[in-house]
Structure 1
Amino acid sequence: MNFRKLERIIAMSPAQTPKNRKRGWIIPIGGGDRKVHTSTILQRLVELSGGSDARMVIIPTASQLDTAGQRTRDVFRELGLSGIEIVDLETRADCERPEILETLRTATGVFFTGGNQLRLATTIGGTSAAKVLRSGNASGVHIAGTSAGAAFVCEHMIAIGKSGGTPKRGMASLSPGLGLTNRVIVDQHFRERDRLGRLLTALAYNPFATGVGVDEDTAAFIGPDDVIEVFGSGGLTIVDPSELEFSSMADTNMGAAVGLVGVKLHILLAGDKYDLNSRQAYPIGDANHP
């Protein structure tokens, strides 16, 4: 079996999209987003989810703030939504409750607030709620997450890590995320918290994926065709390891710098796009812009 064919099979490991349906958008937001009714990010999410008829579910599990879900609900109300449910999955038992699963099944859009991504992974991972969310996204439900919620949408999630520009062995620890896609590894608050090194470290562990570093008040809208479009006021750092020629990760001591040769990097701004299939970046105005 050739590599390209194998790559297509591996890329389907998240829930499969039913015949004649399109996968929903996957929308990691870098955190620090302006939760106001003028936000282009949330406006776009609402439009995709059905406009004023959208059925939006807010999941504040990652946050320890009692008001996280309510504040997000207020913003969606300002955007003209009335069909909004806050589903606080506090325990794994909550993730098995029939009434909660039914609420998730009827959603057209889902929004994960920020907080601690390990709280999301350990509470939701492997539960019926996770399965409903995965199958829902495969069938057309749009799922967004900010900060911790952004990290959680991937199959390979950066759980914890250190700041710095140089990758080092042990700089990032990975855990399973929700698994909507295994095409990317997302890191959030990217430029603001100097996280290039830990994203490179994560990619050195798993060079199959593409790294997506999302600045604050910025979102990567990953379409059903696996083309990413940038929204918001910051930048998107795309790290492409597909042509990696050398990595010293396996022979490096814990805490030591890791050498990587052949990594490609793009900085994209609002309106720019990146095709995960062709691994091509397109600045806004490019005649070949998808």
Structure 2
Amino acid sequence: MSPAQTPKNLQRGWIIPIGGGDRKVRSSPILQRLVELSGGADARMVIIPTASQLETAGQRTADVFKELGVTNIEILDIETRADCENPEILEKLDAATGVFMTGGNQLRLATTIGGTSAAKSLRAGNARGVHIAGTSAGAAFVCEHMIAIGKSGGTPKRGMASLAPGLGLTNRVIVDQHFRERDRLGRLMTALAYNPFATGIGVDEDTAAFIGPDDVIEVFGSGGLTIVDPSEIEFSSMADTNMGAPVGLIGVKLHILLAGDRYDLNTRKAFPIGSE
């Protein structure tokens, strides 16, 4: 599944995986930046709380956007695949300038929205300029290759991560969230060992990777962004390793980026804040 094709003379919207820690995100510049990109006070924000089982998840997020000056806010209670075919819901998705997916369980997002008209609307919207953000589970879901479940630990092991199809806004990256807080380097590297084409992005809490239409990532927030580049892997023992056993990887590149740093997914080069 490739990202939807960007219409001629238009620019793809930003893709914004956020590492979680929703209480911290409220006081950070991350959602402020999303609102600015989406039109400021004129933004038309759509909130999708599908991943969460908390009835208040959507309204809590709406309250934050109200504090940031947004008045046009829609909470879409998408609970079933039938909801994803509802013309009223699709109309609201098509009218959005910004979309925010809450945290929870990314498999709930994938099994409810994946392959539906709502998913097609989100993909087409991002291709024509709608900015789509997700925190925690929502962050994992933005990719084509989504980490569905996995175990903590610093060493990659066969079977440590299970992949499932995500929303498919980008096929350039695999995202893991709550990264340093939950010790997820091993499972991200395991996922990349299965698919060395993609770049791994480990997003700490209160941190976001703003992936621009030019495929350059800008870092916002108080934590770090771990970039794992498997493009020059010289050796991987994945194919010959037993289930649950450690996996050897040689030639992997790793970067730790902080607020203001950038990473170019095309050239696979990292740039510190203030550099050209």
Aligned to 1:203: 192
Given candidates 166, 173, 176, the residue that maps to 2:155 is: 166
Once the 2 structures are TM-superposed, how far is the Cα of residue 34 of structure 1 from its aligned partner? 3.8
Aligned to 2:98: 109
Query: Secondary structure of 1:285's match?
Result: coil
Distance 1:223 1:36, change over 3 A: closer
Residue 272 of structure 2 is aligned to residue 283 of structure 1 = yes
CA distance in 2, matches of 1:60, 1:233: 24
Given candidates 76, 82, 85, the residue that maps to 2:74 is: 85
CA distance in 2, matches of 1:220, 1:235: 10
Query: Secondary structure of 1:191's match?
Result: coil
Given candidates 124, 133, 142, the residue that maps to 2:131 is: 142
Instruction: Provide Cα deviations, 1:236-257, integer angstroms capped at 9, x if missing partner.
Output: 0000001011110000000000
Query: Secondary structure of 1:95's match?
Result: helix
TM-score normalised per structure 1:
0.94
CA distance in 1, matches of 2:130, 2:274: 29
Once the 2 structures are TM-superposed, how far is the Cα of residue 36 of structure 1 from its aligned partner? 6.5
Aligned to 1:266: 255
Query: Secondary structure of 1:185's match?
Result: strand
Misfit runs of 4+, over 2 Å: 33-39
CA distance in 2, matches of 1:76, 1:186: 24
Aligned to 1:22: 11
Quick check: 1:58–1:84 contact (8 Å CA) kept in 2? yes
Distance 1:37 1:238, change over 3 A: closer
Distance 1:202 1:95, change over 3 A: same
CA distance in 2, matches of 1:37, 1:168: 35
Quick check: 1:168–1:257 contact (8 Å CA) kept in 2? yes
Matched to 2:145, the amino acid is H
Instruction: Provide Cα deviations, 1:178-217, integer angstroms capped at 9, x if missing partner.
Output: 0000000000000000000000000000000000000000
- 1:46-85 aligned at under 5 Å gives the runs 46-85=35-74
Query: Secondary structure of 1:16's match?
Result: coil
Once the 2 structures are TM-superposed, how far is the Cα of residue 35 of structure 1 from its aligned partner? 5.8
Query: Secondary structure of 2:124's match?
Result: helix
CA distance in 2, matches of 1:279, 1:17: 22
Given candidates 72, 86, 107, the residue that maps to 1:118 is: 107
- Structure 2 segments unaligned to the other structure (5+ residues): none
Matched to 1:68, the amino acid is A
Query: Secondary structure of 2:239's match?
Result: helix
Aligned to 1:227: 216
Aligned to 2:142: 153
Aligned to 1:250: 239
Matched to 1:233, the amino acid is S
Query: Secondary structure of 1:168's match?
Result: coil
Aligned to 1:133: 122
Once the 2 structures are TM-superposed, how far is the Cα of residue 226 of structure 1 from its aligned partner? 0.2
- 1:182-197 aligned at under 5 Å gives the runs 182-197=171-186
Distance 1:202 1:177, change over 3 A: same
Residue 237 of structure 2 is aligned to residue 237 of structure 1 = no
Aligned to 2:28: 39
